[in-house]
Amino acid sequence: MELCRIRTFQKSLLRPLLLHHAPSRTLETLVRSPSVFRPRRRPPLLLLLLRSFASVSPAPGTGRDLECRDHAPPPAPLPPPPPDELASDDDAYYHEHILEATQEDESRLVPVKAYFPCTSINLKSLQSQNSFNVIPPTSRATNYVVLRYYDVKGDPEGFKAGIIDESHCHYMVVFQYGSIVLFNVSDHEADGYLKIVEKHASGLLPEMRKDDYAVVEKPTLETWMQGGLDFIILRDLSIDGIRTIGSVLGQSIALDYYIRQVDGMVAEFTDINRGMEKTGTFTMERKKLFQLVGKANSNLADVILKLGLFERSDIAWKNANYAQIWEYLRDEYELTQRFGNLDFKLKFVEHNIRFLQEILQNRKSDFLEWLIIILISVEILISVYNIVQEQM
């Protein structure tokens, strides 16, 4: 597979529950602009979470930073969506069937969005400035942090009374290698959460990929989980479930970035080979070649070490149910196969680098040989000149 499979959160997300048809997913490219997000769909964002958390804070608004204080005033209401984001007739039809499904099955739809805006995030500074929202980890994993926010606008009276409605909780899983996974966050709200992390990010990318997924929580489900093409049905979505799902989606969106980087190197070497086919030579400098060597090696190291692509999560080790989710999602996103394709392309790049290095080395050897010939010739000329001078 050349790139991450194209996925989108289509309107037919729950139609397998109604019409037995499989939806499709699209992987989108977003530019850093408030207008990059797709038109908003209006499914009910109802997330049933664990009841054992002690603190919450208001969710960030669109394009606005969050002040994490215990007595901070509630944020201003979000602006209404633009006219082009209003639901169409198809949206109304889809919304009607979503409501029907949730009423019949007591199921809740949780949209999941994965982003890769940068190559590194300082988790320590992020946690220190958002300590009120951080959920304490339950494992030894140190490459990610989970934050929880509360939608005060959706439940102002309950928030003032201290009664937390779990359906208004929003979650953000932030990974050190640059991925961000949002749970129960609509499209027009996502920019506010991304801006929270942006202050602690480095290596910001001019464009970022977005991948949509969904979790359907269905308490009446007979088995622990049930897979779908673009969604997963769980009997209960807990914090450990959010961590497990977020880890796979974060790795997938980051792996897609590195695959695109390697694809760029493959294309560059392809152009070099075509030029050599036409001219019989190439003009690449040694410095440029060494830069490509470093880029290829660093990409492979980042995928293996930073992403931890082959490291099983502690949650999956401890609980067979979450191990089932972890294995299913890794198979769904084809992480092993995609890494195999990446490794094959890197070997192609390595082969070309070795070939070009040999050419450059031969050029250097030829230069030294000619230099030695010239020096010997000069020495012979000087000797002949001295002999002639002596005879005269």
pLDDT digits (tens, 9 = 90+) for 297-329: 888 888 888 888 888 888 888 888 999 999 999
Helical (H) or strand (E) element with 349 = helix 335-391
Place of tokens 């999941």: 112
How high is the pLDDT of residue 309? Answer: 84
How high is the pLDDT of residue 161? Answer: 62
How high is the pLDDT of residue 313? Answer: 81
Helical (H) or strand (E) element with 146 = strand 144-150
Q: Are strands 232-234 and 207-217 parallel, antiparallel or unpaired?
A: parallel
| DSSP assigned state of 220 | T
How high is the pLDDT of residue 98? Answer: 40
- Does residue 147 contact residue 171 with C-beta atoms inside 8 Å? yes
Give the CA distances from residue 189 to residues 56, 196, 380, in Å, rounded to whole numbers and listed in that order.
Answer: 18, 12, 82
What six digits make up the tokens of 277? 């086919």
What six digits make up the tokens of 311? 């490291």
φ/ψ of residue 326, rounded to 5: -60, -45
How high is the pLDDT of residue 192? Answer: 92
Helix axes 286-301, 335-391, angle to 10 degrees: 150
- Chain Cα centroid distance, residue 33: 18
Q: Is 267 helix (H, G, I), strand (E, B) or coil?
A: helix
Place of tokens 């050599």: 276
- Does residue 197 contact residue 185 with C-beta atoms inside 8 Å? no
pTM of this structure = 0.68
pLDDT under 50: residue ranges of the chain:
1-56, 62-88, 90-91, 93-102, 104
CA separation for the pair 346, 354 (Å, rounded) = 12
Q: Tell me the percentage of the chain whose pLDDT exceeds 70.
A: 68
CA separation for the pair 267, 193 (Å, rounded) = 35
pLDDT single digits (tens) 231-261: 899 988 889 999 999 999 999 999 999 999 9
How high is the pLDDT of residue 172? Answer: 95
Closest C-alpha to 53, from 209, 198, 164, 140: 164
How high is the pLDDT of residue 27? Answer: 33
Q: Is 33 helix (H, G, I), strand (E, B) or coil?
A: coil
